[in-house]
C-alpha cells in the first residue's frame, strides 16, 4: 500500500470523489444520497466510497440497513500541511519579485543590473 499522502492524492485525483467529499463536508449522507447527483450506478459510487475509505478520507457507519458516510478530514490536514511549504515558497518568491519591481519603478540603477 502506498504511503498515506500518496493514497490521499490518488483518491483526490478523481472529480467524482472530490464531489463526494464536498457533499460530505456538509454532513453525513447515505450511499443513495451520495449517488443521486451523478449519472453513474450506485455500485460505481460504492467503489468510489471504498477508495475514499481506504485513503482514510471518509468513515462508514452502520445504522440499521444503511451505511451512512461521513467526512474524516484528518488526511486533508496532512495534505494541507504538505502544501503549506510550497505556499510559503511561492509567497516569498512573489514578495522578492514585488520588491525587485518596486526598485525598478523607482529607477534604482542597481536593480536594473540584475
Residue 112 binned pLDDT confidence (cut-offs 50, 70, 90)? low
Do residues 2 and 8 touch, judged by C-beta distance below 8 A? no
- The Cα–Cα gap between 52 and 26 comes to 16
| CA–centroid distance for 47 within its chain | 19
If residue 50 lies in a helix (H) or strand (E), which one and from where to where? helix 42-54
pLDDT at 113 over 70: no
Q: State which H helix or E strand residue 6 sits in.
A: helix 4-12
pLDDT in tens, 43-100: 999 999 999 999 999 999 876 677 799 999 999 999 999 999 899 999 999 999 999 9
**Structural contact between residues 103 and 35, judged by C-beta atoms closer than 8 angstroms:** no
Domain extents in the chain: 4-72, 75-113
Report the topology of domain 4-72: Arc Repressor Mutant, subunit A (1.10.10)
- Per-residue pLDDT at 83: 92
- Residue pLDDT, tens place only, 2-43: 788 999 999 999 999 999 999 999 999 998 899 999 999 889
Cell of 68: 451512512
Amino acid at each position: 500500500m502506498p504511503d498515506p499522502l500518496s493514497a490521499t492524492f490518488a483518491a483526490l485525483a478523481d472529480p467524482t470523489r472530490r464531489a463526494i467529499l464536498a457533499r460530505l463536508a456538509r454532513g453525513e449522507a447515505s450511499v443513495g444520497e451520495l449517488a443521486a447527483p451523478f449519472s453513474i450506478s450506485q455500485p460505481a459510487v460504492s467503489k468510489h466510497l471504498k477508495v475514499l475509505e481506504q485513503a482514510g478520507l471518509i468513515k462508514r457507519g452502520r445504522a440499521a440497513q444503511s451505511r451512512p458516510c461521513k467526512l474524516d478530514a484528518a488526511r486533508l490536514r496532512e495534505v494541507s500541511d504538505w502544501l503549506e511549504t510550497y505556499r510559503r515558497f511561492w509567497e516569498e518568491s512573489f514578495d522578492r519579485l514585488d520588491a525587485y519591481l518596486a526598485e525598478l519603478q523607482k529607477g534604482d540603477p542597481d536593480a536594473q543590473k540584475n
